[in-house]
Amino acid sequence: MNKKLYIVTNRRLVKNKNMIDILKASILGGADAIILREKDLTYRQLVPIAEEIKKITDSSNIPLIINNSIETALKVNAKGFHTSYQNYMNSNLKLKCTVGVSVHNTLEAINAQKKGADYLLTGHIFETDCKKGLKGRGISFLKEVLSNISIPVIAIGGITETNIDTVLETKVRGAAVMSLVMTSDDPFTTTYNLKKHFKR
């Protein structure tokens, strides 16, 4: 089974480039899916960005997943909707698109699967600048979640070219990166080099 590389957006990390250009470059470099995660934006602010990205993902035949805003996901007819564990467990979602949930321990993973999540974003695996000062949960944590779950698990958190192999050696269905690509001076090459590990 082909493991997939997910790019998670964070426009605040982008320094000298346009986020759309970064996504275009990362898709050319081999990204398999985009998760639009701009939680501070209102629906009105998010929709035009989502629509622009959707054109790019559609033309490359890869899914766009919207984080946190169901309204935006429905408006742009996104392939997926992603949300936090708390929001998911407190909601009564009945969506036709794929629904993913972020989990941070095995119990959350089990509960989200029971409630009907299609996939889990599990982390953070390694230390990351996005969660400064918080130690990564490690590969053993990832394996523990995987041994209790039958739906797809995607690893996230501090994943780079130097540690991606240890992630892909597990039964994960994919890996997600945010800062690695968002802060890259050359997002095409960064994505391309990371994606090469998926083909081994």
Domains of the chain: 4-199 (3.20.20.70)
Query: What pLDDT, on the 0 to 100 scale, is given for residue 133?
Result: 67
Structural tokens at position 83 = 């949300």
Tens-binned pLDDT, residue by residue, of the chain (200 aa): 799 999 999 999 998 889 999 999 999 999 999 999 999 999 999 999 999 999 999 999 999 999 999 999 999 999 999 999 999 999 988 888 999 999 999 999 999 999 999 999 999 999 876 666 678 899 999 999 999 999 999 999 999 999 999 999 999 999 999 999 999 999 999 999 999 999 87
Is-contact 32 194, C-beta < 8 A? no
**Which phi and psi angles does 107 have, rounded to 5°?**
-65, -45
* Class of residue 139 by CB neighbours under 10 A (exposed 0-12, middle 13-18, buried 19+): middle
Q: What DSSP state is assigned to residue 42?
A: -
Show Cβ contacts of residue 179 under 8 Å, excluding neighbours closer than 6 positions. 10, 13, 128, 129, 130
Q: In whole angstroms, what is the distance from residue 13 CA to residue 145 CA?
A: 29
Tell me whether the omega of the peptide bond preceding residue 104 falls within 30 degrees of 0, making it cis.
no
Residue 158 marked as a ligand binder: yes
In this prediction, residue 131 carries a pLDDT of: 60
Beta bridge partners of 36: 66
Residue 102 marked ligand-binding: yes
User: How far apart are alpha carbons 91 and 5 in whole angstroms?
Assistant: 28
Specify the DSSP element, H or E, that contains 190: helix 187-196
Model pLDDT, residue 132: 66
Main-chain phi, psi angles of 78, to 5 degrees: -65, 155
Q: 176 pairs with which residues across the strands?
A: 6, 156
